[in-house]
Amino acid sequence: MKGFHIATPEQIKAGAVTDVYFQRTAAILDAKGLDAYVRAEFVAKSFPGDWDWALFAGLEEVTHLLEGIDVNVRAIEEGQVFRTLEPVIEIEGGYREFGIYETAVLGLICQASGIATRAARCRVAAGPDRQLISFGARRMHPAIAPMIERAAYLGGCDGVAVVASAELLGTDPVGTIPHALILVMGDTVRATQAFDEVIEKKVPRISLIDTFTDEKFAAIQVAEALGGRLAAVRLDTPSSRRGDFFDILSEVRWELDLRGYEDVGLFVSGGIDEEAIRELKPVVDGFGVGTHISAAPVVDFSMDIVEIDGAHVAKRGKWSGAKQVLRCTGCHEDDLVPLHHAEEWPDRCTECGGDVEPLLTLQMKGGVPSGARLEPGDIRARTLERLAAFGFDKEGSAL
């Protein structure tokens, strides 16, 4: 029995997680004594669904993967907004140095960027005042739960549910109580009281109220049992039993307020997506989002060689030449994508006269990381500032 069906970090670092044709390419080039000094860029030609922007994530692991390989890397920062046809990474070096890592580099940024983007879209839908928690690790292979929830956190989730993920992020894991506890103890109030007695006081008391009876009555009972110690009630009611979820939540809200429990929040989970967040936001204080974020569609990046031994070369359908992405820090209107070696770039935005900043910056030289290393919380804070700068946090903003 091999154990878990996952690649080890050593296998990934050794380039063993590669499509076999890259290994065969290396063998052919070696047999022919050939190589070339290239610049290769990673670009998404399209986005999933109706996305017209995406959030970049995965660079920290790419840097770890390539550390020690004699290449230079330019990249945009993690948590940066990007658009289609804008390079997010460029690797420069002998093709034989890094060609076999194409599979792994793409794998590290496609999935993470999709998750970060979904989390950012949920963040925008929820607005700044609603709690947004990653609840979806259970939908994916446990080996990558920390990566998944790091991307969800960078994208704007306030917290993550998985202990190992929270350790990676340096945060406290966030949770409530499962149906299993209530079923084993046989009663929602008793399970909530046990939670209150046993669990350390800093953990918010959030009771799950949809196991046995109508949510309204369970909410009142747990509020009366815990009084001011009850932070919120969670409704995770499966859609098959939900009926009009907004009406149920409004009724629970009414009954709690009627009895003086205005401070008891409503927390929802189970099938929550951006649309549900927008619909329920008027009456909900927090969202636990699982599958919608953790099983986000991947961003379809590809790696393309755009310069060989200094000459602009690209395959059919791909624009050759090493590039830069220029963004106005004022209006954030359409980015410019000039040649990296362009003699001069515009330093002022033609739309608003604002400053123009190059997004692709040096992250590695000769296999030695050189970019600033930020903590996840700082990357997340920067992401939220960027989403606001793009106006994505405005009510009904164009996503």
159 binds ligand PCP (CB under 6 A): no
Question: 230 or 272: whose CB is closer to ligand PCP?
Answer: 272
Residue 296 to residue 115: CA distance in whole angstroms? 5
Question: 251-290 mask for ligand PCP (x: CB under 6 A)?
Answer: ------------------xxxx---------------xxx
324 binds ligand PCP (CB under 6 A): no
Residue 343 to residue 353: CA distance in whole angstroms? 20
75, 90 in Cβ contact below 8 A?
Answer: yes
175 binds ligand PCP (CB under 6 A): no
DSSP 8-70: -HHHHHTT-SS-HHHHHHHHHHHHHT---EEEEEEEES--STT-S-EE---HHHHHHHHTTSS
Pick from 84, 291, 320, 361 the residue near ligand PCP by CB under 6 A.
Answer: 291
Size of the site for ligand PCP (CB under 6 A): 15
Question: 62 or 126: whose CB is closer to ligand PCP?
Answer: 126
| Residue span binding ligand PCP (CB under 6 A) among the ranges 27-35, 131-139, 363-371, 380-388 | 131-139
**CB burial string 236-261: b at 16+ within 10 A, e below:** bbeeeebeebeebbebbbebbeeeeb
174 binds ligand PCP (CB under 6 A): no
Pick from 47, 95, 98, 135 the residue near ligand PCP by CB under 6 A.
Answer: 135
> Closest-CB residue for ligand PCP?
290
Residue 165 to residue 147: CA distance in whole angstroms? 8
User: Whole-number minimum distance, CB 290 to ligand PCP, in Å?
Assistant: 2
Q: Which of residues 214-253 bind ligand PCP (CB under 6 A)?
A: 236
Residue 72 to residue 176: CA distance in whole angstroms? 45
Question: 72 or 207: whose CB is closer to ligand PCP?
Answer: 207
Residue 292 to residue 135: CA distance in whole angstroms? 10
207 binds ligand PCP (CB under 6 A): no
106, 303 in Cβ contact below 8 A?
Answer: yes
Orientation angle between helical segments 145-155 and 102-126, nearest 10 degrees: 50
User: Whole-number minimum distance, CB 271 to ligand PCP, in Å?
Assistant: 4
Q: Binding residues for ligand PCP, per CB under 6 A? A: 135-136, 139, 178-179, 236, 269-272, 288-292
